[in-house]
Amino acid sequence: MMNFWQDESGAITVDWVVLTAGLVGLGIATTAVVSGGMQTQSTAVSGTMTGIEISASFDTGTSVADWLAGYTPVNMGLHGPSWGPDAEGRNWVENTYDSWSALSDAEITAMYTADYASAVGGDATRADYIAVQQMIMAERGIDIPSGNLTADEVAALF
């Protein structure tokens, strides 16, 4: 009988059963407490998302057209006939935008940095370039360096 009382094998099984039951109970209690708040939030998100219309196609140039409507090129002499409609009815900004949109974020940022320095240094041609670059950067969420002028402000220097 003494060996039975001193034998500790098997006791750990009972401990694990009790601990596991406690954890399951804690999980159920947490679910009960959180589910009410989750239901409220999911209803709010559902209501918000129901009112949002998602387009089945991507916008292919509205921002270029909007921007173009309010921008006057600084160096019309450089762009000349290419500023106006080409054979396809597109202008310099649209063609340049399409070409530069294919550049990586790092490439467009490096080009912008160089062209910005030239533009504020007096190169009117670069003022038009940074206008297109700033538009691409804004669409991609790339921040314009702090303290830099906007394209319109640079254009006003000329």
The model's pLDDT over 57-98, given as tens digits with 9 standing for 90+, comes to 445 444 565 665 556 666 555 555 555 666 676 677 777 888
Is 73:83 a contact under the CB 8 Å cutoff? Answer: yes
* Residue 99: predicted pLDDT: 87
pTM of the model: 0.52
Is 105:142 a contact under the CB 8 Å cutoff? Answer: yes
Q: What DSSP letter does each residue of 87-98 carry, written as one string?
A: TTS--HHHHHHH
Task: Identify the segments of the chain with pLDDT beneath 70.
Answer: 8-12, 53-87, 89-90
